[in-house]
Amino acid sequence: MKYLSYWDKLSEERRPIILYGTGNGADKILNACENYNIKVSGVFASDGFVRDRYFRDMKVFSHDEIRRTFGDDIVVLPAFGTVRDDVIDFFCKLDSLHDMIIPEVPLYGGGIFDGEHLDAEYSKLETVYNALSDEYSRELFADVIRFRLTGKLQYLSRCEAVRDSYKAMPFSNRVETALDGGAFKGDSAADMLASFPNIKRIFALEPDPSTFKKLSLFADSTEGAVVPVNAALSDRVGESDCVSSGSRGSGISGRNRRAKNIVIRTETVDSICHDEKIDFLKLDVEGFEREALKGASNTLRRDRPALAVSLYHRTDDITDLALLSAELLGKCRMYLRRPKCIPMWDLTLFADPV
Tens of pLDDT, residues 86-136: 999 999 999 999 999 999 999 997 899 999 999 999 999 999 999 999 999
Q: What is the pLDDT of residue 246?
A: 59
DSSP assignment of 288-312 equals -HHHHHHTTHHHHHHH--EEEEE--
**Calpha distance 146→114 (Å, rounded):** 11
Q: Is the pLDDT of residue 339 over 60?
A: yes
38-59 pLDDT, tens digit per residue, is 999 999 999 888 888 999 999 9
Nearest by Cα to 63 from 71, 54, 102, 341: 71
Q: What is the pLDDT of residue 110?
A: 80
**283 φ/ψ angles, rounded to the nearest 5 degrees:** -125, 105
**Calpha distance 210→246 (Å, rounded):** 6
Q: What is the pLDDT of residue 1?
A: 57
Q: What is the pLDDT of residue 28?
A: 95
Note whether 18 and 70 are within 8 A (CB).
yes
What are 261's strand-pairing partners? 243
295-329 pLDDT, tens digit per residue, is 999 999 999 999 999 999 999 999 999 999 999 99
Q: Is the pLDDT of residue 14 over 60?
A: yes
CATH architecture of 6-103: 3-Layer(aba) Sandwich (3.40)
Q: What is the pLDDT of residue 214?
A: 98
Q: What is the pLDDT of residue 47?
A: 87
Lowest average pLDDT, out of 109-123, 167-181, 242-256, goes to 242-256
Q: What is the pLDDT of residue 257?
A: 52
Find the angle CA(250)-CA(253)-CA(258) to the nearest 5 degrees: 50
Beta-sheet pairing, 177-181 with 280-283: parallel
* Sequence ranges of the chain with CATH classification 3.40.50.150: 124-353
Q: What is the pLDDT of residue 51?
A: 81
- Please state, rounded to an integer, the average pLDDT across all residues of the chain: 94
Provide the CATH number for the domain formed by 124-353 in this structure.
3.40.50.150
Q: What is the pLDDT of residue 250?
A: 47
Q: What is the pLDDT of residue 245?
A: 61
* Sequence ranges of the chain with CATH classification 3.40.50.720: 6-103
